[in-house]
Amino acid sequence: MAWGFFNEVGRKLIHITILVILLIYAVLSKTYGEQAALLVLVALLIFFFVLEYFRLELNWKIPVFLAFIRPKEQHRMYGVIFFLSATIICLAVFDFPIALAALLMTTFGDMAAALVGKKYGTTLIFRNKTLAGLIAELFTNMIVGVIIGLFFSINIYAPILMAFTATIVETSLDELDDNLIVPICAGFVGQAIALLA
């Protein structure tokens, strides 16, 4: 079956679960401490490792996964593993507003790029990436960055440069998993600017 626009919509809706994960992290961190909150996220990551073990090592067909796995992920780890790993790294290493911006840019920027690019993109700029997708992603990342910057009163240059970084990295990747690389690169840039300011 060909991977289509509606498969992409369904997959991007799964990405929005990051909001639930961030909420759980915030509540647990405030109640039990940051380390306990991170351990819960690691436990969730291990749960997905187990599911992936059954899917990839034992060849089990897991119906919930099948609808959201891209053809190139049929024989390699599902993107949720990389995104959860990036979430844990970002929350452990970066200040919370920087981690939040990086993760939300990855979620909503990638969503905008994929959906706009698949629906309206005609001008290819790199492999399967379109100019329309790039513009949609940069615009979305800028909105996320400005909102986070204003809400947390952080140096506005940090989220703006994070938006450019997230967009450039996302657009440059095809084989490597963007769910891991984009938030870490964007978060690194934001944290470096925050430290230098």
Q: What's the average model confidence in pLDDT over 21-35?
A: 95
Strands (E), the chain: 124-126, 129-130
Q: What does the DSSP assignment read for 36-83?
A: HHHHHHHHHHHHHHHHHIIIIIS----HHHHTT--GGGTTS--HHHHH
One DSSP character per residue, 89-136 reads HHHHHS-HHHHHHHHHIIIIIHHHHHHHHHHH--SEEETTEEHHHHHH
> What is the token pair recorded at 4?
């289509």
Residues 6+ apart with CB under 8 A from 82: 177, 179, 180
Q: How many CB atoms lie within 10 A of CB 120?
A: 13
φ, ψ (nearest 5 deg) of residue 155? -50, 120
Over 50: is that where the pLDDT of 25 sits?
yes
Mean pLDDT of the chain: 88
Enumerate the β-bridge partners of residue 126: 129
Phi-psi region of 33 (alpha: psi -120 to 50; beta: other; left: phi over 0): left
Quick: pLDDT tens for 65-99. 666 666 676 777 777 899 999 999 999 999 999 99
pLDDT at residue 1, as a whole number: 42
Q: Is residue 130 pLDDT above 60, yes or no?
A: yes
CA distance 72 to 114: 16
- The pLDDT score that the predictor gives to residue 11 is 61
- The span from the CA of 59 to the CA of 49, in Å, is 14
Instruction: Quickly state the pLDDT bin for 53 (edges 50, 70, 90).
Output: very high
Q: Which residues pair with 129 in a beta bridge?
A: 126
Give the rounded percent of residues in the chain with a pLDDT score beyond 90.
Answer: 63
* Spatial distance between the Cα atoms of 23 and 41, rounded to a whole number of angstroms: 12
